Amino acid sequence: MAVNDRPGGMTALSVLNGFFALGVGGTTIQRFVASYELMAKMDGSGRFGRRRGQYFQSLLDEGLTPLDLQILGVMGLIATIFLLVSIWGILKQSNLLGRWLGTIGGVALACFSVFSILWLPDSFLRGSGLSIARQMFFPVFLIFMLHVIFRRDFLNNRQNS
């Protein structure tokens, strides 16, 4: 008798959650660091090399504010935390921790990607918008899997436990 009856797809989904949580977590740190550097550039307290200084000036010229980066950072942080917690929830087939926290994590990740495309200048994104649209696929996929394919597994597990 196995310890659990979790479908293999759920395990795969939780691994992908971990992968994307780490990815968005790294980007979130970048956003916060950049926002403080941008603030330092604005009030002239920071010390930057010539090229980096020019780079931050160009971001400011394009209308990017530290607040934009901080809002994105908060979205990224929510996505990271919720995706990480939902790994455990999905593995345990918990309706609240797996399905719903995973959903919130997915929505936060989608918002993070969409607002990054909308707010950040191309030079900051360092890539095509399609690479961010590619990131959009995962949250949509995650929410679809949690609410369509594995919905009954979460609900039945709640009844059984």
Q: Which two tokens stand for residue 75?
A: 């979205």
Rounded to a whole number of angstroms, the minimum distance from the CB of residue 157 to other proteins is 8
How far apart are the C-alpha atoms of 21 and 113, rounded to whole Å? 13
Select the span of 3-11, 29-37, 38-46, 74-82 touching other proteins (CB under 8 A): 3-11
Dihedral (CA of 62, 66, 72, 76) sign? positive
CB of residue 80 to other proteins, shortest distance in Å: 19
* By CB under 8 A, residue 4 contacts other proteins: yes
Q: Which of 67, 121, 133, 151 binds other proteins (CB under 8 A)?
A: 133
* CB crowding 45-83: b at 16 or more within 10 Å, else e: eeeeeeeeeeebeebeeeebebebbbbbbebbbbbbbbb
Work out whether 21 is an interface residue with other proteins (CB under 8 A).
no
Tell me the one-letter amino acid at 60. L
Three-state secondary-structure class, residue 4: coil
Q: Is residue 12 part of the contact set for other proteins (CB under 8 A)?
A: yes
Q: How far is the CB of 149 from other proteins (least distance, A)?
A: 5
Q: Does 134 bind other proteins (CB under 8 A)?
A: yes
Nearest approach in angstroms of CB 156 to other proteins is 4
Nearer to other proteins, 40 or 114 (CB): 114
9 contacts other proteins (rule: CB under 8 A): yes
Q: Based on the shown chain and the rule CB under 8 A, indicate whether residue 58 belongs to the binding site for other proteins.
A: no
- Cα angle, residue 97 at apex, residues 157 and 70 outer, rounded to 5°: 160
